[in-house]
Each structure stands twice: as structure tokens, then as C-alpha cells.
Structure 1
């Protein structure tokens, strides 16, 4: 059985309607209209993947994107979490900073932050990228103070200079250490720069590439999810 990430709009709708509301007509594909699954799903602790086109799964089917694959691993492990994919193609850290408050209208248990790649590819000032990521982290801490934050590290090719690429890579570790976050050192480990795992643009993973990304994320996320619920929420 395929497990799709819950649609962000449906998740927020369910969270705002309460138990007396009628089921939404466009609930996620993992539920059926004649069963109370949406209400049950809404009561589960949520893992929110907040990122750009890598998270959104540009160029692949939704169930092939790594958040959905992580959701399958969660279900197979019998862990009671709901996955929400809040990826947006083309998103920069500035864009993420402007929309994170809207996304966090409902508290989450785990917030996976995957942003910055588009900043780096565009050569945006690293001070701005760092400031925006910090602002997103601060907003999560304010609106969902018990959430565990996982920061997905990114790397870029040295097209804009070796110093820029090195500093870009370094800022993720520094932010994770400063804020005591769980760090995925490099989200695209074994995928970035490997032609057979990327689409023709050389940037976005193929379905096989997303399976490798999901494996990388799961290696970091699984221990966090197995902590007692009081600590994970």
C-alpha cells in the first residue's frame, strides 16, 4: 500500500475544523470518504517537511518523493506519526521565512528544514541565507516550542568559487550547533552529482535518487522518532 504525504492544505483544514466538521472532499489519497481516517490522522503527531523542489518531489510522482518514502518507513516501523509535505518548488530561504508562520498554524512534533539550495545556486549572500534560516528556526521555536527541528545540510558545486561553496556547506553545521538541532550533514549524500540518480537537469533526484535520500533521512530521523512521545512532541 502506498503512503502519500498528507496534503498541506488538507492538514491545515482538518486542524481548524475540529471533530464536529464534515470530512473534507479533497483529503489525502491514503484515506477514503466513508471512513473517519482523516480525524485519526489529524490527531497523530506530525512530521512536517519544509523545503523546496527537492522536498516537493519535482519531476516525480508524489509517492516517489522522499517525504512519502519516509512515511512508508514510519508506517512499516509501526510509529504513530503523520507526514506532511510542505515543499514548494523554487523556494528560497527568504520565501520560506515569509510562509513558515502560515504553515505552522498547527503545532508539529518534528520539523524537517530543507532550504538554502536555491540560495546557493543563485549566489545569494550567505549572510542573508544564514539570517533567514535562523529566522525560520526561531519561528518554529516560537509557534511550536516542543518540536524537534532537523536541519538538512546542502552542498553546491564550486561554480561560484571554492570559498563560497565551502562557507555554504559550513553554515548548516554552525546553525545546527548554535541551535542544538539534529543535523543531516548532506541531504543528497550519494545522489548529488551522480548522473544516474538525477534527472536531466542534474539537480532533482530521480525516483531511485529519492529512495537514497529517504534512506539518508531515515538514518537520522528514526532514532529521534523512537524517543518517548513526551520528548518527541
Structure 2
């Protein structure tokens, strides 16, 4: 009788246990890291809070590194992928564009990152964050740069955030004094932009 009761209790615990949290990894540069802000104020942390409030079981990891390029992203990827990842949000390339690096190399590097992530976990869901560069880079470079991200998303059957800084870029009230990095209010808007694409994947 005691054994039977223990078995019933064990089964109830098994079926009532919360599902394992989905791991969402944001892999990017200073925009993801939250340049000039605390980690709690950056958009990945805001997303964690919003999803938790909606009852979603998620674990958000901010793997943003200020100054990171697409090439740098490849070099530290193995270390970041030591733990399983369910959703991988790729936010790199902006620093390549600001430095005027060859576009074909940027696209090749970003594809290499996606390939590594998929090799590690074929079931992972990829989200590509679209970026733009200032017009002073020249119309040809600017246009081709912007096309990199939708092309990557299409090739890899990934979700696309058309422009990460939608409604934030160029707005003095939503950016730090440098005019490039979103401030606290800017990150709140970025979080909502990302959630529109991210939430359906969960």
C-alpha cells in the first residue's frame, strides 16, 4: 500500500512538473549588450521579463559583446554554445558595416555562425536581426549591406527582424548621446520589435 502511494505521488509529480525552460540566446554586439546601460536594462532582459509575465518558461542569455564583428563572432561561438540553445538570435554585422568591411566576407561569416549553430543543434530556431548602415557609406554599399540579412534568413529558413532599430534609429530621445546606441526607452522599443518575431516561435 505504501509503495502504491509513493508510485502515485511520483507520477503526479512527473506530470505536474513544469516543462523545461526554452533557452533563447542573443548573440550580438553592443546593441545586444546594452552599451551604456546595465544588463537588466538591455532588450534581452526586458524580453525575459515580458515573456515570464506571460507565463512563458524561458531562459534568456545575453551574449552581446561591444565592438564585436562577424569574424569575432565566429571565434567565440564554440564557447557560447557549450549549453543547449532552443532559439538563437543573431545580431551581428553592424560593426562590419561601420568599418566598411567587404560585404561578401560579412555574409560568409554570418553564414558560418548559422552553420555552426545548426550543427550543434539541428532543431534550433534561428532569428536574424536586420541592420542598416549610415548613408555616408555610399548608396551602393548601404543597399547591398541591408540585403545581407533577408538573404540569410531566406537561405536558412530563419525568422527575420527586418530592422532591429525600427522606430529608434535617428531619434535623439531614444538614443544615448553617441546617437548610435539606444537608451533605456529605446531598448524598450527594440524589445517589442524583437518580440513580434520571437514570440510566435515559442
TM-score (normalizing by structure 2): 0.89
Answer whether contact 1:55 1:85 (CA < 8 A) is retained.
Answer: yes
Distance 1:117 1:193 in 2: 15
1:138-160 alpha-carbon deviations (Å, 9 max, x no partner): 00000122110000000111111
Distance 2:196 2:108 in 1: 28
Deviation at 1:200, TM superposition (A): 0.8
Aligned ranges for residues 15-26 of structure 1 at < 5 Å?
none
Deviation at 1:106, TM superposition (A): 1.2
Aligned ranges for residues 33-48 of structure 1 at < 5 Å?
44-48=21-25
Question: Does the alignment pair 1:139 with 2:128?
Answer: no
Q: SS of the residue aligned with 2:64?
A: coil
Look up the match of 1:123.
100
Match of 2:185 among 185, 190, 208: 208
Answer whether contact 1:104 1:144 (CA < 8 A) is retained.
Answer: no
Look up the match of 2:143.
166
Distance 2:80 2:41 in 1: 23
Please provide the CA RMSD for this pair.
1.3
Deviation at 1:45, TM superposition (A): 2.2
Look up the match of 1:69.
46
Q: SS of the residue aligned with 1:86?
A: strand
Q: SS of the residue aligned with 1:91?
A: coil
Deviation at 1:195, TM superposition (A): 1.3
Distance 2:31 2:138 in 1: 24
Distance 1:153 1:173 in 2: 7
Structure 2 unaligned segments of length 5 or more: list them. 1-16
Q: Across the two proteins, how many residue pairs are aligned to each other?
A: 185
Structure 1 unaligned segments of length 5 or more: list them. 1-39, 226-233
Deviation at 1:131, TM superposition (A): 0.4
Q: SS of the residue aligned with 1:216?
A: helix
Look up the match of 2:55.
78
Q: Which has the larger radius of gyration?
A: 2
Deviation at 1:107, TM superposition (A): 1.4
1:7-35 alpha-carbon deviations (Å, 9 max, x no partner): xxxxxxxxxxxxxxxxxxxxxxxxxxxxx
Distance 1:108 1:145 in 2: 10
Distance 1:105 1:49 in 2: 14
Q: Which runs of 4+ in 1 moved over 4 A?
A: none
1:182-219 alpha-carbon deviations (Å, 9 max, x no partner): 00000000011111111111110000000000010011
